[in-house]
Structure 1
Amino acid sequence: MEQSFAELFAASEMEPKPELRVGDRITGRVITVGEELVYVDTGAKIDAVVDKNELADKDGGFSLREGDEVELFVVSRQAGEVRLARTMSGEGGAEQLQDAMEGGIPVEGRIKETCKGGFRVSVQGKTAFCPLSQVNSRPVVDPEALVGETLLFLVTRIEERGRNIVVSRRALLDRDQAESLAAFMKQAKPGDIVQGTVTRLAPFGAFVEIAPGLEGLVHISELSWSRALAPEDVAAPGDTVTVKFLKMEDQGKGRVRIELSMKQALRDPWDEVSGKYQVGDIVQGTVTRLAPFGAFVEIAPGIEGLVHVSEMSYLKRVHRPEEVMTSGDNVPVMIKTIDLDARRIGLSMRDAEGDPWEGLAERYTKGQVVQGVLEKRESFGLFIRLEPGVVGLLPGSRLESGENEAVFKARSGDTIAVTIDVIDMDKRRISLALAEANHSEDWRGHSPQEKELGVLGAELQRAMRKKQ
């Protein structure tokens, strides 16, 4: 049987209504917006009012409409009227501050100056003391920078009839954080992807606000798949970022540590390696770090490969990576190997630059006389550089001290005429012989097809020159 409107109204009137007390935090619904006052349905027997200016935004504008919800404090209840406000502000006596302390209502205060152990704060026409440790939930680096700031505080102590008032901003921040954490944990769990705002950067990472007053840390190792980036390279205060909620640790005394990750909110770059890179590809990379055995080069964010010291140059023997590069250098590399299971990529700088031995058999032939540069002298012979990356050995057994005095006096960097003797492409070795005197004088015109005179022929040639 359907109930009449009168019966429903009577039944609603008989339902118990919550009793509002000063200090209660309520969530109400705007029912009327006047020129100076806003009327709010609190769910109690009587509606409440709040000054319209109290609900203005930071720019002084008013955007609330009938039906919008607001969260406010009960700041007074007199003669059947309930007054609401976001905080207690303006002029008031010790009694009003006492109500604020007992009800946990925030009060607005302006930091007047620093003093021993903290700050003097002007609160509703009275001077209160805020200890340095209670002005923020984090250590304050520069107390003077807060002078002149208008902030919200909780009254924690009133003594001597209002002559001794102590306030704390940290208590308010901790309370708001606890409420925000409780709300956040109701709708999020470890592993969830959430939005946040970067609040500050540190050498070890970035702090991100994931709920009002609730910060988590993105450690530097979780900022990006790339190792070469610093926090300031990835984000800046005020940036909106997507993070993965990793875990929360209770550190006691109402403190929690929330760990976040920006890189895990993105796709793992190794999932794309097989379709993006192939062995033999030449790509650009950035040197991220050096080791005694080689250099790690990042070819894409989060994709690093190793250039072994033996793969750094064909042109010179590299003993340490520092000889040819530094961290941050951009270098071309060739992909030599890809191991997706081990997440390893082998790279080569020398192959990316080109192998000087390629086509060498066509450029040099047995018997050809060329000009080389003495690189190093050893007990068993001389190392002669024919071109960048191509070095041959002139064995000591081919040198005759009596007739090759200029060669014996040669120093590193001096030019010496030599003859190609043996080319071993498999072992990358070239054996050289000392060019004959006449060939040394006109080595450019030497033809590889000319027959060698031998020792006897050389002696006869010298004898004929003497007769001439």
Structure 2
Amino acid sequence: MDDVSTEVRVGEKIPGKIIAIGEDSVFLNTGTKSDGVVEKAELLDENGEFPYKVGDLLELYVIDTRDGEIRLSKVVSGSRSPELLYDAYQNKIPVEGKVTETCKGGFRVKVLGQNAFCPISQMDINYIEDAEAFVGQTLKFIIERMESGGRNLVVNRRRYLEQLMAEERENYLASVKTGDIVKGRVSRIMPYGAFVELHSWVEGMVHISEISWARVSDISEVLNVGDTLPVKILSIEKTGGKHGGVRISLSARQATEDPWKTVGSRYRPGEKFKGKVTRCLDFGAFVELEPGIEGLVHISEISHTRRVVRVENEVTPGQTVAVMVKSVDPINRRISLSMKDAEGDPWLDLEDRLSVGQIVSGRLESKADFGYFINLAPGITGLVPKSKMATGSDLQTMEKLKTDEQVTVKIVAVNPTERKIELAPANSGDTEDWGKYTKTDSSPGSGLGALGVKLREAMKSGKQDK
């Protein structure tokens, strides 16, 4: 039978399945005649917990094959032989080193009893702002250059991190697929989307259009860095970069139920709700009833009381308004809404409030060639035709009225169906009604009213004096 050293060699990375877990050591089946062994402390996670169980598969480096035993390790550490240092260099096995001080251009690092140099650009993946923060830390490195029998060493932590990233990424991507819903943590927010960390060294992006079923214009209004949320994997695309990068597209909204699927059970025609105006267009205003559910209030459905010419003059984005559901179309994702129906139609009970012959006060709304429009109440406007003005006793007063001035008028006709009210000056009337507004005096001058009476009396008094 061959020696163990002929089956595996120092520096080689080999797979092994855990077959036993001891108090200090973990034993693995390496597929050779000898089992492998690794110190349990090397396999603890960042919380000091042992995350593995019997049957789990690990990949570790061979660091020794003497005495018929395969010693395994995640990294080369401690004070080992120069041969092991050379093997680590040749086979790119990670080694542990302690950062002792900063120096010009980088750091001095103690590696396996030897002094080494690490350029500052190769100490981390990210830009280093505080170099002193690394001093005193024991970290993992790749030996980049080895000269003079190990007395001149250059190490690289960035390359080790990139290898670790690639391994972590590969392992994670092997466990997920397109369509899976996973949890992630928001790591960065940009104007066009949010980056979400799915696993160590694995990040995907949620485009702004995939943040929510609701319309999102500013991501920071709905997400914060550090937020944890479920996301759906839309695609995994290898970019072919130097370090095996991938581009992962994610969706937060597709990880939750589409609210339009059940919209019909929550919104029925005739029901009233409050919503927030999201957009104003020439033809109407969009109102959000809940995140992801918007309806349209057509310009003709904004008000009973005013003729709306510009939507922006009536409502503004962000304003809360009351609306009534007119129709719901889940298939085409449309809801028709009405603000004026939510307020109530002032013409519905008009006949109970106004009657023919009634004298009411109103406000001059506008003048036209054919008559004057008088506003009697919000949403209720009547017309005094020019022909009716002539029947009043004070035509000049009517003609001198200015917009918004108060005037007293008489109800001549009410037609709620056609939304029309005919008005006349309060002192006007047909022949049979004239007695209601004038004195029944048949003597000469009676048609002149009170002024005529006074004038007649003065004339009589003058004749008597003569």
Report the TM-score when normalising by structure 2.
0.76
Query: Match of 2:365, as an amino acid?
Result: E
Aligned pair count?
434
* Contact in 1 for aligned 2:363/2:407 (Cα 8 Å): yes
Does 1:255 pair with 2:237?
no
Q: How does 1:214-293 map to 2 (within 5 A)?
A: 214-228=202-216, 230-232=218-220, 234-253=222-241, 254-293=244-283
Residue equivalent to 2:453: 467
Q: Which residue of 2 aligns with 1:415?
A: 406
Matches of 2:290 and 2:14 in 1, distance apart?
Answer: 52
**Contact 1:23/1:100, CA 8 A, preserved across alignment:** no
- Work out the CA distance in 2 between the residues paired with 1:230 and 1:87: 46
Which residue of the partner structure matches residue 195 of structure 1? 182
Q: What is the root-mean-square deviation of aligned Cα atoms in Å?
A: 4.2
Q: Distance in 2 between matches of 1:217 and 1:70?
A: 31
Q: What aligned pairs does 1:52-451 form with structure 2 within 5 A after superposition? A: 52-60=40-48, 62-63=49-50, 67=54, 69=56, 71=58, 73-74=60-61, 76-77=63-64, 79-80=66-67, 82-88=70-76, 99-107=87-95, 120=107, 122=109, 124=111, 126-131=116-121, 135-136=124-125, 140=126, 143-144=128-129, 148=133, 155=142, 157-158=144-145, 161=148, 163=152, 165=154, 167-169=156-158, 171-172=159-160, 174-184=162-172, 186-190=174-178, 192-202=179-189, 203-228=191-216, 230-232=218-220, 234-253=222-241, 254-399=244-389, 403-436=394-427, 451=433
- Asked if structure 1 preserves the Cα contact closer than 8 Å seen for 2:141 and 2:157, the reply is yes
Give 1:299 shift: 1.7
Runs of 5+ unmatched residues, structure 1: 1-9, 440-449
Aligned equivalent of 1:443: none
What amino acid does structure 1 have at the position aligned with 2:314? V
SS of residue matched to 1:197: strand
Q: 1:106 to 1:351 in 2, by over 3 A?
A: farther
Q: C-alpha offsets along residues 63-109 of structure 1, whole Å, 9 cap, x if unaligned?
A: 46873747363262264465443344567899766544543434557
* 3-state SS of 1:74 partner: strand
After superposition, the C-alpha distances for 1:178-236 in whole angstroms (9 at most, x for unaligned) are 4455445555443x323222241423333334454322222222222122475455555
Q: Partner of 1:6 in structure 2?
A: none
Q: Percent identity?
A: 33
Q: Indicate conservation of the 8 Å contact 1:196/1:208, yes or no.
A: no
Find the counterpart in structure 1 of residue 458 from structure 2. Answer: none
Deviation by residue 1:230-259 (Cα, 9 ceiling, x = unmatched): 545555555554332222233332332111
Quick one: distance in 2 between partners of 1:354 and 1:392?
A: 19
Q: CA offsets per residue over residues 373-421 of structure 1, 9 Å max, x none?
A: 2233445443322111222233445446993444444433321112223
Bigger drift between 282-291 and 202-211 goes to: 202-211
Amino acid in structure 1 at the alignment position of 2:129:
E
Q: How far apart are the structure 2 equivalents of 1:115 and 1:354?
A: 80
2:426 partner amino acid: A
Structure 1 residues 423 and 88, CA, compared in 2 at 3 Å: closer, same or farther? farther
Preserved contact between residue 427 and residue 437 of structure 2 (Cα < 8 Å): no
Kept in 2: contact 1:30–1:38 (CA 8 A): no
Q: Distance in 2 between matches of 1:389 and 1:65?
A: 75
User: Which residue type is aligned with residue 428 of structure 1?
Assistant: R
- Structure 2 gap segments, 5+ residues each: 455-466
Contact kept, 8 Å, 1:23 with 1:102, in 2: the verdict is no
State yes or no: 1:22 paired with 2:8.
Answer: no
Residue 22 of structure 2 is aligned with which of 33, 37, 41?
33
**Does the CA-based 8 Å contact 2:18-2:27 persist in structure 1?**
yes
TM normalised by structure 1 equals 0.76
Indicate the SS of the match to 1:144: coil
CA distance in 2, matches of 1:380, 1:351: 31
> Which range moved further: 195-204 or 218-227?
195-204
Return the letter of the residue paired with 2:352: E
Shift in alpha-carbon separation, 1:366–1:28, aligned structure 2, 3 A? same
Separation in 2, partners of 1:90, 1:430? 101
Q: Distance in 2 between matches of 1:90 and 1:383?
A: 98
2:91 and 2:293 map into 1 onto residues whose CA distance is 56
Contact 1:114–1:147, Cα closer than 8 Å, also in 2: no
Partner of 1:445: none
